[in-house]
Amino acid sequence: MGRLRRMLARRRPKLVSLRTTFAISFAAVTAAVAILVGIVSYGSAARLVRVDQQSVFSQVVQDVRDEVRQHRMEPEDFSSSRPGHDLVRPARTDVQVLGAQGEIVDHGDPSLPVTSHDRSMALARTAGKAVEHKDVQVGDDLYRIATVSLGDGRGAVQVAQEFSDTEDLLRTLQQRTLILMAAVVVAAGLFGWWLARRITRRLVVLTNAAEDVARTRRLGIEVPVAGLDEVGRLGRAFDRMLGRLAQSEEDQRRLVQDAGHELRTPLTSLRTNISLLRRIDELPPDTRDDLVADLTQEARELTDLVNELVDLAAGQSDTEPPQRVDLADIAEDVVGLASRRTGRQILLRVSGDTTTDGRPGMLQRAMSNLVENAAKFDRAGQAPIEVHIMGPARPGTVRVEVLDRGPGIAEGDLIRIFDRFYRAADARSLPGSGLGLSIVREVAMAHGGAPFAYRREGGGAVIGFTVGGG
C-alpha cells in the first residue's frame, strides 16, 4: 500500500503557477495573432507587388503594339544606337530586335533566347501581333518575354522583364517578417511574464496569508491587499472573513468561559446536596423533603441553563436558510404556546406590513424568550402581557415589543440586561440563567436589527427588538 502511494506521488503532475500559465497564454495568443497578421500581410504585399509588376509589363507590351500599328516601323527604329529609343525601353525592361528572318539584329542586355514562335512573329504580315513567354531562364535570372511583330515580314521586337529580383525582394520581405514575428513573440512572452507578475503579486500575498492561517491557525493576520479590481475585492473579502472567524472564535471562547463560570454554582450546590444524601436516613423528614425539592429545582435550573447555552450557540452558527416570513404568524404561535404554558392572558396586536426576510426558528426563539421573561418577572400580575408587532418603520423593518406590568428595570440595568449571564440584583432570586435576553440580542443582530429595552410608563418594562435593515 505504501509503495502504491509512493508511485502515485511520483506520477502526480507538477503544479503550474498561475503566473506561468498567464505568461504562456499571453505569449501564445500574441504569437497566433502575430503569425496570422504576418501571413496575411506578406500574402497581400506579395500579391500586390506581383500584380503591379505584371501590370507594368503588360502596359509596356501594349504600348509597343500600339506604336507599331500606328506607324510603319523598321527594326532600325528600335536600335539601341538610334536617338529616342528610350521611349520604348522603360526602366528594368530589356529590348532585343529581330530581323526579317528572325535573326538578332540588335542584342538585348542580356541577350534573349529566340524560339520558333518568335521567328514566326518576325515573318508575320500583321503588325502588332504578340506571343508571350513566362518564366524564361536567362543566365541566373527569370524573365517574362513578349515578341511583337512589326508587320509585312519586316521583323519583330522582343520586350523582356526580369522578375527574379522581385522574388528576391519578396523573399527578403518574408525573412524580415519572420524575424519581426519572432521578436514580437519574444517581446510578448517577456511582457506577459511581467504583466503576470504584476497581476498575481497580490494573489500571491493572499495565498501566503491563507497558508499562514492554515499553518499557524492565527486568524488575526492582516491581509495587505489594496485596489479596486476583483483582486482587491477578494483581498478585502478575505480580510473580512478572517475578522469574522476571529470574532466567532472569540465569541466561542467567551461562551465557554462564561458557561463554565455559571455552571460551577449549580454543580457545587448539587455536589453539596448529593453528599447529604448519604446521611438522608439521619435527617428529619422535613429536611429530607427540602433536600429533595432543592435537588429537583437545581436539576431543573441546570437543565434550563444547558438548553439556553445550546440555543445561544445555535444562534451564533444557525444554518437555517433565510426565507420570507410574517412575524405576525410567528407571534401568534408564540402567544398561544405561552398562554397555555403560563396560564397568563397575552394580547397580540399587529399593525402594518410585518413580513420580512429571516429565519423562522431563530425569530420564534427570540419572541418566546421575551414572553417568558415578561411572565417570569410579572408572575403575580393581573394585567395582561402585551405583544406588539409593528411594521414597517422603513422598508423591510419590523419592530417586536413585549410589554408587562412587572417591577420594571432599574435605570442602571437597562444597558446590561442583554449581556450574557447578567442578572439584575432584584432578579437573582428568580429562576433563570441570564441567557434569554442574550439570545434575543444575537437573533436581532443576525437579522440586521438591534434589541432595545426601556421603562414602561405606569410601571413595568418594554423589551423587544427590530429585524431588517432595508
**Cis, peptide link before residue 110, omega less than 30° from 0:** yes
| Rounded distance between C-alpha atoms, residue 372 and residue 431, angstroms | 12
**CA–CA distance, 17 with 8 (Å, rounded to integer):** 21
- Kindly report the length of the chain: 470
CB 123 within 8 A of CB 52: no
Q: Other CB atoms closer than 10 Å to residue 202's CB: what's the count? A: 19
Cβ atoms of residues 363 and 330 within 8 Å: yes
Instruction: Sort 4 into a burial class: Cβ within 10 Å, 0-12 / 13-18 / 19+.
Output: exposed
Q: Tell me whether strands 346-351 and 385-390 are parallel, antiparallel or unpaired.
A: parallel
Type of residue at 285: P
> What's phi and psi for 450, nearest 5 deg?
-155, 150
- CB of 97 closer than 8 Å to CB of 75: yes
Strand order in the sheet with 461-467: 346-351, 385-390, 398-403, 461-467, 451-455
Tell me the H-state helices in 317-380.
327-342, 360-377
Question: CB–CB of 137/110 below 8 Å?
Answer: no
Give the whole-angstrom CA distance, residue 218 versus residue 415: 33
Provide the phi-psi class of 448: left if phi over 0, else alpha when psi is between -120 and 50, else beta: left
**Mind listing the pLDDT tens digit of every residue in the chain (470 residues)?**
455 455 544 444 455 566 677 777 777 887 788 788 878 877 777 777 767 777 878 888 888 888 888 888 888 877 766 555 444 455 567 888 888 888 888 888 888 888 888 888 888 888 888 898 887 888 777 788 899 898 888 899 888 887 766 666 777 777 887 888 788 878 877 887 887 777 777 777 777 777 777 777 777 676 666 667 677 777 777 777 777 777 777 777 776 766 665 566 567 777 777 777 777 777 788 777 777 777 777 777 677 667 666 665 665 555 678 889 999 999 999 998 888 877 888 999 999 999 998 988 889 888 888 888 888 877 666 788 999 999 887 777 899 999 988 877 777 777 777 776 555 545 444 444 556 788 888 888 888 899 998 888 888 889 999 998 65
Measuring CA to CA, which residue among 416, 410, 322 is closest to residue 361?
322
What pTM does this model have? 0.44
Q: At 9, which helix (H) or strand (E)?
A: helix 2-11
Contact 468, 398 (CB under 8 A): yes
Q: Which domains does the chain have, with CATH numbers?
A: 18-166 (3.30.450), 218-315 (1.10.287.130), 320-465 (3.30.565.10)
Q: Which helix (H) or strand (E) holds 235?
A: helix 230-277
Q: Nearest-5° angle of CA 350, CA 356, CA 361? A: 90
**Rounded distance between C-alpha atoms, residue 173 and residue 50, angstroms:** 13
Whole-angstrom Cα distance, residue 254 to residue 421? 11
The pLDDT, as a whole number, for residue 87 is: 45
Instruction: Give SS3 for 287.
Output: helix
How far is C-alpha 143 from the chain's CA centre?
62
Residues in Cβ contact with 357 at an 8 Å cutoff, skipping those fewer than 6 apart: 322, 323, 324, 325, 396, 468
